[in-house]
Amino acid sequence: MTTAHSPLVQAFDLLAEARAAIETPALVVDLDRMDAAIERMAGLMRERGVALRPHAKTHKSLEVGHRQLDAGAVGLTVGTLGEAEVFAAGGARDLFIAYPLLPVGAKANRLRALAAGDVALSIGIDSVAGARAIAAALGADAGRVRILVEVDSGGRRTGVAPSGAGRLAAEAAELDLGVVGVFTHGGHGYADPAAGAGAADDEVSALAEAADALLLAGVEPVVISAGSTPTAVGSARGVVTEERPGTYVFGDRLQVGLGSIAADAVAAMVAATVVSVVAGERRFVLDAGAKILSKDVAPYVAGHGAVPELGGAVVSRVYDYHGVVELPDDTGAAMPAVGDVVLVVPNHICPVVNLVDTFQVVQGGRIVDEWAVDARGRNG
CA 236 → CA 44, 154, 200, distances in Å? 9, 20, 10
Q: What residues contact residue 16 under an 8 Å CB cut-off, 6+ apart?
A: none
CB of 290 to its own copies, least distance (A): 6
CB of 32 to its own copies, least distance (A): 25
Helix ranges (DSSP H) in the chain: 16-21, 31-48, 62-70, 81-89, 106-115, 128-138, 165-174, 195-216, 229-232, 253-258, 290-293, 349-353
CB of 36 to its own copies, least distance (A): 25
**Smaller CB separation from its own copies, 241 or 255:** 255
Q: Which neighbouring-strand residues pair with 332?
A: none
**Smaller CB separation from its own copies, 128 or 222:** 128
**Smaller CB separation from its own copies, 21 or 194:** 21
Alpha-carbon distance of 31 to 263, in angstroms, equals 16
**Smaller CB separation from its own copies, 92 or 274:** 274
Alpha-carbon distance of 303 to 193, in angstroms, equals 17
Interface positions with its own copies (CB under 8 A): 20-21, 23-26, 57, 79-80, 99-102, 104-107, 126-127, 129-130, 133, 156-159, 187, 273, 275-277, 283, 285, 287, 290-292, 294-297, 317, 319-322, 324, 337-339, 350-351, 354-357, 376-377, 379-380
CB of 288 to its own copies, least distance (A): 8
SS3 58: coil
Task: Give the chain's radius of gyration (CA, Å).
Answer: 22
**Smaller CB separation from its own copies, 104 or 194:** 104
**What's 246's DSSP letter?**
-
**Smaller CB separation from its own copies, 104 or 334:** 104
Phi-psi region of 365 (alpha: psi -120 to 50; beta: other; left: phi over 0): left
